[in-house]
Amino acid sequence: MMTKTKLGELQKAAQEQVTRAREVAEKAQSESREMTADEQGTYTEAMAKGGELLEQIKVAKRDLEILDEAKSLAQEIGEPAVDDVDAQGRPPVRERVKSLGLQVVDSIEFKNALAPYKGGYVPERSRFQTDPIAVKGLFVGGSDTSAGAFVVNEQSGIVEPLGRKELTIRDLVSVRRTGSDAVEYVAQTSHTNNAAPVAEATSSASPTSDPETGAVVLPSGGGYKPEGAWAYERKVAVVKSRPRRARDATKPPRSHKDWGGFRMSGVSR
């Protein structure tokens, strides 16, 4: 949790880095010479650290402003009256109106996770994780007085009539009828995606062709985008017949048009 003391420590550390960089630059200037490679490295490092500390100071100031606003609101609300029957056995008003953020930073789990870091400062790119924190006052979508007030129902336009049959796995298979024993179709065999960033065109020259191979030669700086490629081929699927019921051997066989249920890979007749 950020405090004024921690903010002061950040400001002091930032001033030290700025002073360090200034001393290096002033030394080279007083001697009327350019900074050496070591001095330039020291100067750049000090300025970079000072910049990082400055960003942390800005964040710390914003956090303190939020905490000050919360404290000011709590002071305006005040403590509950002693003779208030409704308030008996309930926590103080300041605790009841505590924001979600304050509940988190004031929790034991958060303080335990922050304890290993000196001064309450978590280094950049460090992984910070706490145990589960129990909080109150969460927004819930199931309540019209909470987040549910912001929920807008989507109108699907679907009408569910009485007696409608439920969908089954069979409904997911595409079915087409055929009068032949084989079905021909086109299938995609490859898909090459050559999408890539292309620099802005710097030349308006037109493409040329190789006199020997006839291949198209794109001019340099033309800004042409790489092309993708798709390949297809024709395939034939043989229809496999499967009768839905066994035929009575004592009766003559029926013609093909009297049978149903022939299918293969979603193709049926």
In this prediction, residues 143-147 reach a mean pLDDT of 75
pLDDT at 138 over 70: no
Mean pLDDT of 188-216: 87
Round to whole Å and give the CA distance between 258 and 238: 20
pLDDT tens figures, 19-48: 988 898 888 888 888 888 888 899 899 899
On whether the CB atoms of residues 10 and 56 are closer than 8 A, the answer is yes
* Range in 40-54, 182-196, 234-248 the model is least confident about: 234-248
The predicted model gives 97-107 an average pLDDT of 73
Over range 205-222, report the average pLDDT.
86
Pairing of strands 216-217, 263-264: unpaired
Q: How far apart are the C-alpha atoms of 14 and 203, rounded to whole Å?
A: 50
Give yes or no for residue 267 having a pLDDT over 50: no
Q: Quick check: 56 and 7 in contact, CB under 8 A?
A: no
Region of 157 (left: φ > 0; alpha: ψ -120 to 50; beta: rest) is left
For Cα atoms 145, 146, 148, give the angle at the middle one, nearest 5 degrees. 90
Which DSSP letter does residue 33 get? S
pLDDT interval class at 266 (50, 70, 90): very low
178 Cβ contact partners less than 8 Å away, ≥ 6 residues apart: 239, 267, 268, 269
Written as six digits, the tokens of 93 are 């008003």
The pLDDT, as a whole number, for residue 184 is 92
Asked whether residue 265 carries a pLDDT value surpassing 50, the answer given is no
